[in-house]
Amino acid sequence: MKIIKSTYGSYESYILQNPVTGDEVHILPGLGGIIRQLKLSKENQSFAVIDTPEDPAVFGDNPKYGSAFLFPWPSRIKDGVYAYQGNTYQLPINEPEKQAAIHGIVHHETFEVVEEWSTVASAGIRLRYQHDGSYPGYPFPFQFEIRYDLLSSGKLDISPQALNTGTEPMPVALGWHPYFQLPGGTVDDWTIYFPAKNQILLDDELMMPAGVEPFEATEGYKLKGRSLDAIYELNEGGYLTQLVSAKQGVTLNLEYQRGEGNVNYQVVYTFPDRERVAMEPLTANVDAFNNGEGLFILKPEEVYQTTYQVYLS
């Protein structure tokens, strides 16, 4: 296992690589610490399960938040306003068409590489971003880290964590925004399995929660001729989302931790080009700073952490 340093446009790129299998993950610390490309293999066949344009000018500065970490809130906060401990806060509106504050603070920030390692068993890096509490409407300082570990077994471990570096408890929620694909097929070839129990109904105008209805996908939801674009509340026991292609004989697995402060919701979105599916694990519902659904209160000096694992089978 090894680490290669390269560039992607103006960004430094860290490539974690298994030279034997061809598995590799391209990470951009200077652009929110995102994964730009992830290649995994099954039975000597390689799949670029996360991919972006090779031309940095085409990709730009990731305007669609691909693979971004969404902290200290994912999704939207209505009007950018929330009340907390007797105070009312106004966040910048960065989604004006929905009059919302969306996706938190860290998604386009520059992360520092604070640790890297390569052994027979794995190659990895740990990234860090320090927030000083100066973001308008969120006066809570924190340290946010992302740990990537590409294992020789063919799995990628991803561990984001936050440390409250301030003196007051802070409201937090977390999301990850990956766009997955299985090259050689399209959405119409795939079935998705995920442990949903309810679909959160969103109003058409502002995309804010407006109710729930039962939704069952643990036995599989065939995507042929169908589209999904919603947030789902997960059942108590599920911990795994799978994108299955019978045509290609491969399954993309996304595992996550469950329970308080961990993944309890998921967005699933099929892109109009029918070539990718967003499978976004979230700890909280849309507008959680106001409705409290999945919101976690992080105490001073307390660490907030979860883990995802991506692999093929």
pLDDT at 275 (0 to 100): 94
How does the average pLDDT of the chain come out, rounded? Answer: 96
Average pLDDT over every residue of 293-300? 97
Q: Is the pLDDT of residue 141 over 90?
A: yes
Residue 30's alpha-carbon distances to 10, 51, 128, 170, 293, in angstroms, are 9, 18, 11, 26, 32
Nearest 5°: the CA angle 34, 38, 43 is 160
At 236-290, the pLDDT tens digits run 889 999 999 999 999 999 999 998 899 999 999 999 999 999 999 999 999 999 9
pLDDT at 226 (0 to 100): 92
At 31-41, the pLDDT tens digits run 999 999 999 99
pLDDT at 292 (0 to 100): 96
pLDDT at 206 (0 to 100): 86
**Rg, C-alpha atoms of the chain:** 19
Whether the bond into 183 is cis, omega within 30 of 0: no
pLDDT bin (cut points 50, 70, 90) of residue 80 is: very high
Question: In the chain, what are the domains?
Answer: 2-312 (2.70.98.10)
pLDDT bin (cut points 50, 70, 90) of residue 154 is: very high
308 within 8 A of 281, measured Cβ to Cβ: yes
Contacts of residue 294, Cβ cutoff 8 Å, sequence gap at least 6: 173, 264, 265, 282, 283, 284, 285, 288
Its pTM stands at 0.95
Q: Is the pLDDT of residue 188 over 90?
A: yes
pLDDT bin (cut points 50, 70, 90) of residue 205 is: confident
Burial of 99 (0-12, 13-18, 19+ CB in 10 A): middle
Q: Is the pLDDT of residue 50 over 90?
A: yes
Average pLDDT over every residue of 5-32? 97
